[in-house]
């Protein structure tokens, strides 16, 4: 009697042998990101021991292209994409995708409904990859990224951990440039308006500014948290002046907050830069049109979007691009001029 053909091991059996979930085993077999080295080695060992052969049809389905990528932002503010910063990012992303056949899907994903929409999109594989921006704290979007086998590129680092693929600006170094400029021009009573405390970008800019002052032996008089908006900057400036009535320098973690702070300083009768020198961060077009024009740390915002998209396309094509940190520099204008003020 002929023996029956040997039954081929299943993906579930590979996962059980490796001690991982079926999803993790699938990600390893399809060479997807977001799998730890230990899990990857366990699955590869189980594949060898069991003689598992991937189903070519299943692999083809797992790697098929649908011709779209997602830019998901952890915000529930409908006007977000009209914000000059995000508008510049989108321009950069779109410019890079023009060189491809990929369409761009924009998604606000900070509400449960938005996250559910993104999760359904990922599970149904109606996108070839994802770009994530504006993550805060223990953001659910970061966990969604860990659960998908699609390539995910982060725009800016999350508050904890370091993803495989990300593009960021040198926030810490740029903020240090602001501190050095204040010290060099004779300012000795600096204050700061930072961003939301549960964002990595705010933490990095506060750390860099503090480091620059500490190295020069200049104390930071006070810090208030804003929310990267003009109104948030205006309110934070009011709180700073209530606690520290005579600062001579202000660094804000965004140009928008600097514009709001300038409004408060004007209302309170303080002159810029004679009484208070002001430096922002981003160097958006609006920084050239404030009164006076804003000294600010330039980060290449459009390039941030462009490089995110390029990195994602590279990952979709099966490559493993390295993380990228874009340089920052100080753009000096009238709100914090180069000439020392003297004591």
Same domain, 281 and 179: yes
In-domain check, residue 79:
yes
Nearest of 244, 268, 261, 285 to residue 336 by alpha carbon: 261
Same domain, 177 and 284: yes
Residues 201-216 pLDDT 10s:
999 999 999 999 999 9
Q: Which of 282, 299, 316 is the last residue of a domain?
A: 299
What is the pairing mode between strands 295-298 and 329-331?
Answer: antiparallel
| Residue ranges making up the domain that contains 279 | 171-299
Tell me, what DSSP letter sits at residue 36?
-
Highest averaged pLDDT of the listed ranges 77-81, 152-156, 195-199, 296-300: 296-300
Contact 305, 91 (CB under 8 A): yes
Nearest of 33, 23, 93 to residue 316 by alpha carbon: 33
Residue 111 has pLDDT above 80, yes or no: no
CATH number for the domain harbouring residue 82: 3.40.50.2300
Same domain, 134 and 196: no
Q: What is the pTM (predicted TM-score) of this model?
A: 0.77
Q: What is the pLDDT of residue 74?
A: 76
In-domain check, residue 76:
yes
What is the sign, positive or negative, of the torsion defined by CA atoms of 165, 281, 174, 213? Answer: negative
Q: Phi and psi of 21, rounded to 5°?
A: -75, 160
Q: What is the pLDDT of residue 56?
A: 55
Those residues with Cβ within 8 angstroms of residue 247's Cβ, 6 or more apart along the chain or in another chain: 189, 190, 191, 221, 222, 240, 241, 276
Same domain, 284 and 237: yes
Provide the domain count of the chain.
2
What torsion do the CA atoms of 254, 257, 258, 264 make, to the nearest 10 degrees? -170
Q: How far apart (Å, rounded) are the C-alpha atoms in residues 336 and 143?
A: 42
Q: Directed axis angle between helix 200-215 and helix 171-184, to 10°?
A: 30
- Helix segments in 124-243, DSSP class H: 140-147, 171-184, 200-215, 230-243
Residue 76 has pLDDT above 90, yes or no: no
What is the sign, positive or negative, of the torsion defined by CA atoms of 321, 139, 109, 194? Answer: negative
Mean pLDDT of 92-98: 93
The two three-digit tokens of residue 328, written as one number:
């920052």
Q: What is the pLDDT of residue 3?
A: 47
Mean pLDDT of 215-230: 95
Same domain, 252 and 144: no
Q: What is the pLDDT of residue 1?
A: 47
Residue 81 has pLDDT above 90, yes or no: no
């Amino acid at each position: 009697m002929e023996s029956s053909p040997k039954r081929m091991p299943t993906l579930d059996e590979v996962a059980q042998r490796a001690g991982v979930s079926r999803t993790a085993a699938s990600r390893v077999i399809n060479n997807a990101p977001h799998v730890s080295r230990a899990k990857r080695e366990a699955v590869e060992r189980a594949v060898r021991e069991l003689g598992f052969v991937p189903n070519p049809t299943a692999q083809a389905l797992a790697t098929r292209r649908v011709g779209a990528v997602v830019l998901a932002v952890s915000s529930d503010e409908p006007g977000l994409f009209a914000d000059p910063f995000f508008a510049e990012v989108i321009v950069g992303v779109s410019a890079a995708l023009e060189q491809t056949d990929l369409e761009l899907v924009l998604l606000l994903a900070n509400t449960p409904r938005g996250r559910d929409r993104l999760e359904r999109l990922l599970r149904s594989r109606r996108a070839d990859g994802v770009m994530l921006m504006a993550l805060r704290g223990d953001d659910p979007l970061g966990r969604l990224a860990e659960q998908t086998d699609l390539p995910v590129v982060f725009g800016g680092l999350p508050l904890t951990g370091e993803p495989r693929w990300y593009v960021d600006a040198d926030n810490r170094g740029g903020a240090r440039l602001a501190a050095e400029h204040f010290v060099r021009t004779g300012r000795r009573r600096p204050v700061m308006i930072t961003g939301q405390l549960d964002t990595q970008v705010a933490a990095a800019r506060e750390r860099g500014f503090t480091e620059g002052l500490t190295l020069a032996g200049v104390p930071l008089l006070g810090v208030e948290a804003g929310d990267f908006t003009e109104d948030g900057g205006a309110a934070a400036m009011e709180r700073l002046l209530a606690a520290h009535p005579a600062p001579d320098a202000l660094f804000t973690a965004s140009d928008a907050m600097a514009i709001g702070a300038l409004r408060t300083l004007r209302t309170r009768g303080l002159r810029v830069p004679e009484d208070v020198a002001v430096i922002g961060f981003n160097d958006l077009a609006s920084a050239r049109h404030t009164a006076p024009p804003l000294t600010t740390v330039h980060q290449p915002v459009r390039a941030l979007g462009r490089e995110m998209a390029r990195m994602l396309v590279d990952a979709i094509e099966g490559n493993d691009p390295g993380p990228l940190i874009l340089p920052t520099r100080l753009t000096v204008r009238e709100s914090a001029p180069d000439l020392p003020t003297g004591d």
